[in-house]
Amino acid sequence: MKKISVLGSTGSIGTQTLDVAAKHSEHFQIEGLAAGGNTDLLLEQVRRFKPRKVSVATRELAERIQSEVPAGTEVFYGDQGLIEIAAGTDADMVVTAVMGSLGLPSTLAAIEAGKTIGLANKETLVTAGHIVTALAREKGVKLLPIDSEHSAIFQCLNGENRKDLASITLTASGGSFRDRTREELKHVTVEDALKHPNWSMGAKITIDSATMVNKGLEVIEAHWLFDLPYEQINVLLHPESIIHSFVEFRDTSIIAQLGNPDMRVPIQYALTYPERWDSPAQRLSLAEAGKLQFREMDFERFPCLRLAYECGKMGGTATTAFNAANEVAVARFLRKEISFLQIEDIIERVLERHHNIPEPELAEIEDCDKRTREAAAKL
């Protein structure tokens, strides 16, 4: 029996993690679940998986569900609640599937407690990659990627000699607006932006795909997960999302990982690693797929990807600021306060004013995150 806690259990990754756990219920026991405000779904999950501890975003919500959870389940709330689910249970593994840098303290707490991490929450690595990876090394904790591209690279590198690796390439679908001109982008709506062509995901990451911020975050995530310089990390537009990413070796061999776009595959691989088990996903038929297309990335069309590379190469708090500005800008776009193109405008303007701190301490990162959010909210 592997014991698992899920941070963000009511979201897109969280629910699919529980689907995978339910499919192999004789092998997985759910120890803890943390959600934000969707208490109806959380209560359903509690009845089904019988975790020992659960957490919700606020005290008020915790009080509201208290009488509805079984006697054996303790209820927590807020930032401390998230940390309790991450570090205060008997779980062997913690799946980090909350959205945004709010996942950083709980991820650090889980690593500190020696839990294997199934990492979906990429913003954690973008915000504080050097701190998260250093702590994981110190504690001997594995960071197993759940993000589809990183799972693909992880699988392609399995058993290979790292000194033979020439480069990695992350594929990008291009998101909801990949065939629109910049002129057309001036008038796109939230509803249009939320229609991802290949993946069904939470709102924030779907907008990130459309701005290409998602790929920028993933480049930085790859830098930390695979300990590679940015010069060895490429991005290639691949509209079908069938090749999830690939690696190239010094002898020019390329190894790729393919499959239908279904997050249950990388989630399950992280849960069962190093084993492979039967999956509920639909098998890929290349004959039916017929044709796979590829295009060079256009950094003029997708300036947020250029900004992400620049911040990544700069290091320090630059990526913290990039992430925080984006989180605020996307939330504002989703509330219809700003237009789609103003997301990148806000990120760019925040970064122009950013004073970079190289090798920041955790407190400096938290301070940068807070100040950047305040600035991005005012622009």
Ligand X SMILES: NC(=O)C1=CN([C@@H]2O[C@H](COP(=O)(O)OP(=O)(O)OC[C@H]3O[C@@H](n4cnc5c(N)ncnc54)[C@H](OP(=O)(O)O)[C@@H]3O)[C@@H](O)[C@H]2O)C=CC1
Residue 334: what residue type? L
Out of 31, 84, 123, 147, name the contact with Mn ion by CB under 5 A: 147
Binding mask 41-80 for ligand X (x = CB under 6 A): ----------------x-----------------------
For the sheet with 93-96, list strands across it: 74-77, 53-56, 28-34, 2-7, 93-96, 116-119, 143-145
Nearest residue to 83 (alpha-carbon basis) of 116, 63, 62, 107:
107
Q: Which residues are annotated as a binding site?
A: 10-13, 36, 38, 121-123, 147-149, 173, 196, 202, 209, 214-215, 218
Q: What residues numbered 55-94 form the site for ligand DXP, per CB under 6 A?
A: none
| Contact range with ligand DXP by CB under 6 A, out of 208-216, 245-253, 291-299, 361-369 | 208-216
Distance CA 61, CA 64 (A): 5
| Interacting partner of 120 out of Mn ion, ligand DXP, ligand X, none (Cβ under 5 to 8 A depending on kind) | ligand X
Binding of Mn ion by 123 (CB under 5 A)? no
Binding of Mn ion by 31 (CB under 5 A)? no
What angle is formed at CA 39 by the lines to CA 10 and CA 32, rounded to 5 degrees? 60
Out of 5, 14, 30, 144, name the contact with ligand X by CB under 6 A: 14
Binding of ligand X by 98 (CB under 6 A)? yes
Out of 29, 209, 257, 279, name the contact with ligand DXP by CB under 6 A: 209
What angle is formed at CA 173 by the lines to CA 184 and CA 168, rounded to 5 degrees? 130
Q: Which residues are annotated as a binding site for 1-deoxy-D-xylulose 5-phosphate?
A: 122, 148-149, 173, 196, 209, 214-215, 218
Binding of ligand DXP by 263 (CB under 6 A)? yes
| Contact range with Mn ion by CB under 5 A, out of 148-156, 192-200, 280-288, 344-352 | 148-156
Q: What residues numbered 309-338 form the site for ligand X, per CB under 6 A?
A: none
| Contact range with Mn ion by CB under 5 A, out of 146-154, 223-231, 232-240, 281-289 | 146-154
Binding of ligand X by 136 (CB under 6 A)? no
| Interacting partner of 173 out of ligand X, ligand DXP, Mn ion, none (Cβ under 5 to 8 A depending on kind) | ligand DXP
Q: Toward Mn ion, which CB reaches closer, 147 or 262? A: 147
Q: Toward Mn ion, which CB reaches closer, 132 or 146? A: 146
Q: Which residues contact 371 (CB under 8 A, 6 or more apart)?
A: none
Q: Toward ligand DXP, which CB reaches closer, 218 or 248? A: 218
Q: Toward ligand X, which CB reaches closer, 36 or 360? A: 36
Out of 84, 147, 221, 248, name the contact with ligand DXP by CB under 6 A: 147
Summarize as ranges the residues that interact with Mn ion (CB under 5 A): 147-149
Q: Which chain residues interact with ligand X by CB under 6 A?
A: 8-14, 34-38, 57, 82, 97-99, 102, 120-123, 147, 199, 201-202, 204-205, 263
Residues that bind ligand DXP (CB under 6 A): 147-149, 172-173, 175, 199, 205, 209, 214-215, 263
